[in-house]
Amino acid sequence: MLDFGGVVTKTLFETHALTEQALGLAAGTLTWRGPFDPESDPEWRAMQAGEMTERDYWMLRTRETGQLIGEDWTMMSDLLQAARSGAVDDFLRPEALRAIDRWADRGRPVAILSNELDLFYGPRFRASLPFLDRITCIVDGTYTEILKPDPRAYELVCSALGLPPAACLMVDDQMRNIAGATKANMQTVWFDVTDPTAGFDRVISLLEGPHP
């Protein structure tokens, strides 16, 4: 089971140059770096400390960025859909694509469990994903209204896959969601967005044993 934003896609932190280009901003305008430079991003540190929610953090960044181009953005989808209007492959992690193909080729079920795939990215972005035919199921909190780390979110995916929780591995970049999956009796890998290669190496090692 893969989280979407951050695990399958690159974070907005990693694609500042593409966002600036899409929005007509000067290079270097966007300076918030989240996990890539926590010391320079006090709001990110506050979110990680539980002093603000993840959605509150992104709404702050959404409003800030909208104001730079004279827009009154009120939803993160405003930012994401404007920033990610280019070729979809520019925003996908090649490590994720290779891993999805690897598992699908071996007949392993692959699921996506996201809190807000369509809410943030929009159905058009999802429909353009090149690996959809390799995904067994997508459970999206946009429609279920059940968000990780609520245990019911993990139960929905297990039910869709027809597998017990202990047979599933959840990969997520947010520790609170990893904690939720652990409580649901699932195997877990916390995905460090600053080192995606190591993250997917860890997942492959757990699922398949050591690999070349």
Domain ranges in the chain are 12-87, 89-208
At 207, the pLDDT band (50, 70, 90 cuts) reads confident
pLDDT digits (tens, 9 = 90+) for 73-101: 999 999 999 999 889 999 999 999 999 99
pLDDT attached to residue 212: 44
pLDDT attached to residue 210: 53
Indicate the average pLDDT of the chain.
94
pLDDT digits (tens, 9 = 90+) for 104-159: 999 999 999 999 999 999 999 999 999 999 999 999 999 999 999 999 999 999 99
Q: For domain 89-208, say whether CATH 3.40.50.1000 is its number.
A: yes
Beta pairing, strands 169-172 & 137-140: unpaired
Look-up of token digits 């990110």: 44
At 50, the pLDDT band (50, 70, 90 cuts) reads confident
What b/e readout covers 126-143, taking b as 16+ CB neighbours within 10 angstroms? beebeeeeebbebbbbbe
Strands (E), the chain: 111-114, 137-140, 169-172, 187-190
Tell whether the model's pLDDT for residue 211 goes beyond 50: no
